[in-house]
Amino acid sequence: MAGFWTLMPSRLLFVVGLLLLDTTSSFVSAAGSSVHHNPLTGEAMNFFGTRSPPKNATVNKYLPKPSNDSWYKPPGGWETAKPGAVLRTRAHAYPTINIRNAIDTFQVLYRTTDSRNNASWSVATVFIPKSHENCTLPTTSPAYNASACSHGIVAYEVPSDSADPDAAPSYLLQMREPYGEMRDMLARGWFVMVPDYEGPGASFCAGVQAGHATLDASRAVLSIAGQFGLQMDKVKLGLWGYSGGAFAAEFAAELAASYAPDLRIDASVIGGSSPNLTTVDERMNSKDTAGLVVTSILGITVQQPEARAFLLRQLHPTGPYNATGFMNATTMTGADALDAYSGQNVFDYFVNGQADWANPAMQDVINTDAVMGLHGVPNMPSFYYKAEHDEMSPVNETAAIVEKFCSQGANILFHRNTLGGHNDELWSGRLRALEYLSAKLNGYGNITIPETGCQTVDVTIPLDPLYLLPDWWWTEGPGAGLGLAGAG
C-alpha cells in the first residue's frame, strides 16, 4: 500500500471506490486505535499531533504549550470555588484557527474535582460556528438573524490518549482537528466545547476525573456562553466521544445524576466504548497499539501515589526495556507513543512481567477508576454505537453495560454494526451520531429513536470515509495535491 497515494487522481478514485465497497479487505480488520490510523489502509498515522513551526509567524500564530502558558495557572484561592466555577476566561483564544466552519474560539479555566474527590482545575476550549457570526450584535441590528444563532452546544471529547500535559486538546487543536467531526458539527450551527478532561496531570484513562471534568466544563461554559451569543433560553447540551473520547463521555453520563444534578444534558453519544481497561490493554499489547498501554498505565496512576510508587519500583532499572524508556511516554503525544512502543510487549518493562500489572496495587486502581457501569445510570437519552468485530474491546462488554442501564430505567438506542472493526466504526458511525444529536438538539434527525426505554438494533453500515475525511487529509495528508479538498 506504500505506493497507493502516488496513483493519478482518476485512478486513485477508482481504487478507493473498490476498497470502500470491499468491507472484507485487510484494512478493515487492522488492529489499532482509531485515533491514529488511516481508515483506508489501517496504517498508523499522526492524526493528532503538531505541525512544523509556521513559516509566516505574522500570519500563523499559536498559543504556547500549557507548561509555558501562565494563563493555565489558576488564581489564588481557586480550591474554595464550587465545581464548575469559572476561574479565568480567554476570549478570541486561538490566534490562528485551522478548523473549517469555526469563526472564533474562547477558553475557560474552571474548577473541577479529580478521581480522588480532591479539588482540581482544567480548561475547556469552545469553537463558535461561522453561522453564528452576527449573533453578538444588538437584536435591533439589520445584520442580526435570530434563526442563525446557535442554541446547541456539544461537549466533544477528543481522544488525546496521552500522559503528557502538553498534549492537551486545548493546545493541539490549534494545529488541526483529527477527524473532521468538529467541522461537521460546526456546519450544523452548534457550539463545540472540548474539555481537557484528563486534567492538569494528564490522567489518561482516569474515568472519574474525565467525567467530572466534562460535567464541570459544561457548567462553566454554559455560565458564560450567553456573552458569546448562545441562545440560553433555548440551549440544549449534548455529549459525544469515540474510543478514548467515549471514555470521558460515558463516565460523564454515568456521573451526571449524582455529581451534577443541576446540569441538564439532552443527549449523550458513546461510540466504540471500552468498558474495562484491563480487557483493552490485554488486546492492545504487543501490537501497533502497545504505546496506548504504556500511556494508560501512566495516566491511571497520576492521581494514585501508591500505585505510581509500586509502578516505579517494578520497572527494570536497566536493560532494553527499562524505567527511563517507559517514563519517556510522559512527554509524548498519543501518536508519538504509538510510534515509540509499536509491537512491544509492555509487560517486559516490569520485573515480574504481567504479574506486576495484575498485582492488586495496579488492578484496584483500574477497577475503581477505569471500569464502566459502576458509577450511576445515564439520566439523559443516549446513543451507543459499536462494531460487532471491534478488536480493541468486545462488543458484548458494551452490550452488558447497556443492558444493565436499561434494567434501571435508562433511555438508550444501541447500534451494533455487523461490518468492520474499531477503526472503521469511527467513520461509519459519524452520520448516525450526528443525526442523533440533531434529533435531540434541534428536534429533527434521520434516525429512529425510542421515546422511552431501550432498543438494540443490528445495522449493516459499510466503511465509506472519503467525504468524511478531515480537511487536512487533502492539504497535508495522503490526499495532498489530488484536488479533492471539497470532498472533505
Q: Which residues are known catalytic residues? A: 243, 390, 422
Answer for the pair 359, 391: CB distance below 8 angstroms, yes or no: no
Answer for the pair 302, 201: CB distance below 8 angstroms, yes or no: yes
Helix H, strand E, coil C: the string for the chain is CCCHHHCCHHHHHHHHHHHHHCCCCHHHHCCCCHHHECCCCCCECCCCCCCCCCCCCCCCCCCCCHHHCHHHCCCCCHHHCCCCCEEEEEECCCCCCCCCCEEEEEEEEEEEECCCCCEEEEEEEEEEEHHHCCCCCCCCCCCCCHHHCCCEEEEEECCCCCCCHHHCHHHHCCCCCCCCHHHHHHHCCCEEEEECCCCCCCCCCCHHHHHHHHHHHHHHHHHHHHHHCCCCCCCEEEEEEECHHHHHHHHHHHHHHHHCCCCCCCEEEEECCCCEHHHHHHHHCCCCCHHHHHHHHHHHCCCCHHHHHHHHHHECCCCCCCHHHHHHHHHCCHHHHHHHHCCCCHHHHECCCHHHHCCHHHHHHHHHHCECCCCCCCCCCEEEEEECCCCCCCHHHHHHHHHHHHCCCCCEEEEEECCCCHHHHHHHCHHHHHHHHHHHHCCCCCCCCCCCCEEEEEECCCCCCHHHCCHHHHHCCCCCCCCCHHHC
Q: Which residue has the cell 482509531?
A: 34
